[in-house]
Amino acid sequence: MTSIGATVKEPGSSKNYKTGSWRTFKPILDKEKCIDCENCILFCPEGCINKDYDIDYDYCKGCGICAEECPVKAIKMERE
């Protein structure tokens, strides 16, 4: 972004902004405990967990919904 007039020349550039920087608590998944129920994938409001249960920390804001919804407590929220 050019700061004079706050102009942006690159299309789709909002993805360059890593909203993961907002995070205070980071979700850590224990894949050994995971029962593959897909609850966290469905409930994540940011779509930050993929089918292999990898968490995209570039955009995960650390809301903790995944940890709350996990039926086997496989996700722990750790302070950044």
Partner 1 sequence: MIKVISANRALAEAVRLARPQVIPVYPITPQTSISEYLASFVADGDLKAEYIRVESEHSAISAAVGASGTGVRTFTATSSQGLALMHEILFAAAGLRNPIVMGNANRALSAPLSIWNDQQDSISQRDSGWMQFFAENAQEALDFVIQAYKISENKDVLLPSMICIDGFILTHTVEPVNIPDQEDVDNFLPTYQPKHAYLDPKDPMSLGTFTDPDYYMEARYDMEVAMERAKEVIRTVNKEFEEVFGRKYDLVENYRCEDAEIILVAMGSICGTIKAVIDDLREKGEKVGLLKVIAFRPFPQEDIYQAVKNAHRIAVLDKNISFSIGGVLYNEIKAKIDVDASSFILGLGGRDVSPEDIINIIKQTRNPTEPDVITWVGLKEEE
Q: By CB under 8 A, which span of 10-18, 29-37, 51-59, 71-79 interacts with partner 1?
A: 10-18
Residue 17 in contact with partner 1, rule: CB under 8 A: yes
> Which position has the token pair 């994938």?
41
- Rounded to the nearest 5 degrees, what angle is found at the Cα of 50, between the Cα atoms of 65 and 77? 35
Q: Under a CB-based contact definition with an 8 Å cutoff, are residues 24 and 45 in contact?
A: no
Q: Please select the residue that binds partner 1; options are 4, 15, 32, 45, rule is CB under 8 A.
A: 4
Rounded CA-CA distance 3/68 in Å is: 40
Residue 2 in contact with partner 1, rule: CB under 8 A: yes
Q: Which residues in this chain contact partner 1 in the complex, by CB under 8 A?
A: 1-9, 11, 14, 17
